[in-house]
Amino acid sequence: MSKRSHYHPLGKQASPSTKRFQASQRATLAFEDERDFEEHTRGLIATPEFTQIMADTGNVAWDMGRYEFLLDGEEFDSIHPSLQRQAVLNMNYGLYEVMPGIWQVRGFDLSNVTFIEGETGWIVFDTATAIETARAALACIDEHLCERPVSAVVHSHSHIDHFGGVRGLVDEADVVSGKVPIIVPKGFLEHAVAENVYAGTAMIRRSFFQYGVLTPASPFGHVDQAIGKNVAAGTPSLIAPTMIITQDIEEHVIDGVRMVFHSTPGTEAPAEMNTYFPDLKAFWAAENVTATIHNIYTLRGALVRDALMWSKKIGEALYLFGSDAEVMFASHSWPRWGTERIQEVLRGQRDSYAHLNNGVLHLANQGVTINEIHNEYEPPSSLRAQWFARSYHGSEKHNSRAVINRYLGYWDGNPATLIPLSPKDSAPLFVEMMGGSDRILAKGRDLYDEGRYLEAVEILNKLVYAEPDNEAAKQLLADNFEQVGYQQESTSVRNSFLSAAYELRSRIPDGVPPSASGPDLMRALTTEMFFDALAIRLDSSRVEAVEFVANIKHPDTGEELVVELSNATLTTQAGFQATDPDVTVTIDRADLEDVMVGAVTFTDQIATGVATVDGDITGVQAMFGALVEFDMLFELLPGTAPVA
Ligand SMILES: [Zn+2]
């Protein structure tokens, strides 16, 4: 079919075997069910002229134009046909009326920006990832509907594509004065910052794979992100919330609109909530119900989620609101209209998560391990026949392993895998025993030609670990990764394979990845979290001979903490003071925040007298001197670091 050229000189077209696979998939999919296409265009008011949104720093933050190849009606053999359908649906772009009183700007960022008509202004549900894309969404509705102030902001959950754009919508002064409330579920702030700080550098690096953020948009590269096109590369922000929903069900009137908040912790995010609008008969499903089965384990790295709890919260929504609602809309994808359709989607997704949980444990209780389950678990055929129950963001493969990981952990019970050799240590032995590089390459080529890509990956991966400079091995591994990637329905898995192929061919790419941090997020850390994050950055080998007990006092907030360095380990307890500390440091929390965002150093604050010191500060200074700045561009695969 497609004879388009590959974006990479070493890239390959879909192989005959991949073409056969895609054809077999096309034959089984329920293309006759076209309701998604009616729903995703319904209510379109305006599509803007522009396709790009620029970041304030000068880079392109968002670019729908680079995906226009998806709109030519061509079937690409390098894209799973089910994923291609989803990728076309996510070409959504513009301002849509969900119903009178509710509008969405879709396709300006990974997530939608939803506007509810309040008495005095727009009540915004979720803000997109970046200041720039949120600002563009507000400008879009102001231009095509009418210009109104933002009267309230609701963050449905603690992921950055739902709060990062807040400064593009409201002035912090109006939030602080109480004029514009920011409404969030319980635990929002803690989870919003915790998720991105302790393992943040590793997560961003891994997101190069899961989201393919720097992999070119192409039928052979990035085509979609399942719940939207991609993640915007703009400026993230955060303003401290002013109203926290703590109960399972809470009813409030916000700017004249009655809202029933439905708490759903432990689902798609640790802090999340749905909202029902009883007077509008409209159900906001947050990110709990979108047009895909989601991640129980998100491949960039995150705590494993609870498929059973997720299912139960969808079930609650079905019984609380599902008989009354006339429209269901969410922070990603498109709305569903009519009680029958809403119930169909809620039931199908409820059952998908429940079946995943139960089906996997059903097999685990018969001895199927975390290293086998992805080849064993299958959802029932009735769920496979429903588009909204297919796994574009998650995949049955990595989600099934996640369920076992949640209940049983990563070990399969075989002592041989309990303290395995590191890949780079085991690989040379395998290569030697397999008869060396030439034999492995020859077999790898045969397996590639036969379409046995995962088997080829098994041996070529060993060779690449043993010989990271073996270009032929890296390129053949890339070719096999690529065909596996082309065959995936899940964007997370496709992007991981295709981005890995890209790095094997060209090494780690340049470019501006989306940021999950920034001054606002750092400032939102508690002082205890800040020191806990420093403890992760500490090179403990350099403080073997250092010990201290330090009391920290924040006069402006009244907070007190004790920080100890002992056994080359930094620990912090909020709410305690040592009776006989080596040093007491008194610094306003506001002044510590300047250190947290990197504007000044801790030593500067002492030197200028902003922080006052009573006792011996040398141990604390030695600790600050032994902190490591993490470099995000570490290798995920051997031999892919940029050439110096
Ligand atoms: Zn999201």
Scanning 487-526, the segments in alpha helix (DSSP H) are: 491-506, 519-523
- Has residue 125 got a pLDDT over 50? yes
Average pLDDT over residues 121-132: 97
Is the pLDDT at 154 greater than 80? The verdict is: yes
Residue 518, pLDDT > 90, answer: no
Calculate how far, in angstroms, residue 283's C-alpha sits from the geometric centre of ligand 1: 17
Q: How far is the centre of ligand 1, averaged over its atoms, from the C-alpha of 184 (Å)?
A: 15
User: With 70 as the cut, is the pLDDT of residue 128 above it?
Assistant: yes
CA of 332 to the centre of ligand 1 (A): 7
Q: How far is the CA of 150 from the centre of ligand 1 (A)?
A: 21
Q: What is the 159 CA–ligand 1 centroid distance (Å)?
A: 6
Q: Is the pLDDT of residue 345 over 80?
A: yes
Q: Read off the pLDDT of each residue in 173-189 and give the average, rounded to a whole number.
A: 97
pLDDT higher than 70, residue 3: no
Q: What is the largest CA-CA distance in the chain?
A: 76
Mean pLDDT computed over 456-476: 98
> According to the model, what pLDDT value does residue 50 have?
87
Instruction: Decide: residue 173, CB within 10 A, 0-12 exposed, 13-18 middle, 19+ buried.
Output: exposed
Mark the residues whose beta carbon lies below 5 A from ion ligand 1.
Answer: 111, 159, 161, 287
CA distance 572 to 558: 17
pLDDT of residue 516: 72
pTM of the model: 0.96
Q: How far is the CA of 437 from the centre of ligand 1 (A)?
A: 44
Polymer length in residues for the chain? 644
pLDDT digits (tens, 9 = 90+) for 229-249: 998 999 999 999 999 999 999
Region of residue 359 (left: phi > 0; alpha: psi -120 to 50; beta: else): alpha
C-alpha of residue 270 to centroid of ligand 1, in Å: 13
CB 362 within 8 A of CB 403: no
Q: CA 7 from chain center: how many Å? A: 26
Q: What percent of the chain has pLDDT over 90?
A: 92
Greater pLDDT, 517 or 608: 608
Q: What is the pLDDT of residue 1?
A: 44
Report pLDDT digits (tens) over 483-497.
999 999 999 999 999
Q: What is the mean pLDDT of the chain?
A: 96
| pLDDT score at 213 | 87
pLDDT of residue 322: 97
Torsion of CA 349, 354, 356, 359, to 10 degrees: -140
The percent helix, strand, coil of the chain (3-state, each to 5) is 40, 15, 45
Give the up-direction half-sphere exposure of residue 502: CA atoms within 13 A in the CB hemisphere.
25
